[in-house]
Each structure stands twice: as C-alpha cells, then as structure tokens.
Amino acid sequence: MLTLLALLLSATTGETLAQDRPIVRPASATTTASLPASADPFVAIESEADAGRAQKVSFERTELDAKASAKGEASLRGQTLLVRMRAKNMPLPTSFGVPRYALWVYVPNYQVKMYIGDLPITRTSKDRGSSDSAYRFTNLPADAEFGGLMLTAEPVRFTPIVNEALRPLLIGLTSKESLAQAVAATTIYAGPPPTSPGERRDAQPVPGTPTTTAPSPTDRQP
C-alpha cells in the first residue's frame, strides 16, 4: 500500500491561519475563542436540523488510524456554513507529532479546501480522546457548493508550505464528489474567499495543483 503522505500533496496559498475557531461544550478540556451567544453554532445547527435543512456527514477512516470515528451535520446558508462534529476514539494529535487537528470544508465548484478551525480533543484515556464541536464559518464564496469535510493532523502554521502533505484522519464527502479531486484541491488557510470558480469536478486539475492519487479509506461510519 502506498503511504498516505505520498498520496496527499496539496497546493496552498500564503495566507495566515483562519480567525474562526470552534465553540466547545463546557465538558471539553480545551476551548478556543468564543462566538457571541446570539451566534452559538450549537443552537444554530440544531435549529437547522430541526427544520430539515442540515445534512448528515458520514466519515471514512484513512489508514492513518484504525479506530477513530465521527458523525457530522452541516448546513450551507449562502456564505455561512454551520457544522457540528462529534468524534470519538480519536488518537491524540501528539501521537502524530503535531499539536492539533484541523477541519476543512471542500468546495468542489472552486476546487479548494478551506480551513474552518481546529478540532479540540478531550482526553478520555491514556492515548485517546473525543470531541463535540460546532462551527459557524462565514468566509465561503457566495455560490459555494458543499462537497464535504476533511479532518487532518496538522502542525500550527502561519506561513503554509506549498506542496506540504495534509494528513487526513477522517474524510466525509458527499456521494457525488471525487476523493482524488478533493485531496488535490488547493488549500486555503485564511483570507478572502476565491473570486472565481476553479476547475469543475469533471475537468482537469487546476494548473499548478499537484496531481495525486487518493488514499483508500477503510470502513465508513454509520
């Protein structure tokens, strides 16, 4: 089997890290900057789900870990994406030599992956943890399509490194999206959203974007 890192090279741009961070339930050991109470993403995504406007995201494991699992919900409303991710049996990010997990949204009609925020982990055992996190990401292009989510084990970067491999732990794409194109999509850490669509899903890769072979996820989570 080809190694995961050799398969997952993706282009990046020179922006700084994104400002948005997840709101974490009080039981979580790690928290990040809070959103105003009126914009509580937990309440917002629950309201979207109750109204039938949220879609479930089923995650597949990659060969990076054999036990991690997660369930997600997402709702796209214009340029705002609401996400809730409940993960369990997660290896601590330090097991990969990094301090954090990063969550990305794949936007297929722009052929980009955009950084949503970090996924804090609460330790539940010596080397495993869980997370219940919600996000309100407001930086999408106006006509963005939701292609799915990707959770990766990443170092903290302030200057992204072109062609450095992302390391996906869990991947949850919508059924019509190509894993190979999602992996090869340009990586955007922060800054303004793209101003024009990239290559469509049935086109060739964006010029300058490395052509990669997608990893082989293992079993899909219910």
The DSSP annotation for 155-194 comes to: ---SSPPTTPBP-EEEEEE-TTS-HHHHHHSEEE-SSSPP
Please tell me the pTM assigned to this model: 0.74
Tens of pLDDT, residues 99-136: 889 999 999 999 999 999 999 999 999 999 999 999 99
Tens of pLDDT, residues 60-90: 999 999 999 999 999 998 899 999 999 999 9
Q: What residues does each domain of the chain span? A: 4-188
Q: Where does the pLDDT of residue 217 fall: very low under 50, low under 70, confident under 90, or very high at 90 and above?
A: very low
Q: Where does the pLDDT of residue 198 fall: very low under 50, low under 70, confident under 90, or very high at 90 and above?
A: low
Tens of pLDDT, residues 165-194: 688 999 999 999 999 999 889 888 877 888
pLDDT score recorded for residue 68: 97
pLDDT score recorded for residue 105: 97
Higher pLDDT, 76 or 27: 76
Contact 68, 91 (CB under 8 A): yes
Nearest to 22 by CA among 84, 89, 107: 84
pLDDT score recorded for residue 67: 96
Rounded to an integer, what distance in angstroms lies between the CA atom of residue 166 and that of residue 98? 12
* Domain 4-188 fold: Immunoglobulin-like (2.60.40)
Helix (H) or strand (E) holding 41: helix 41-50
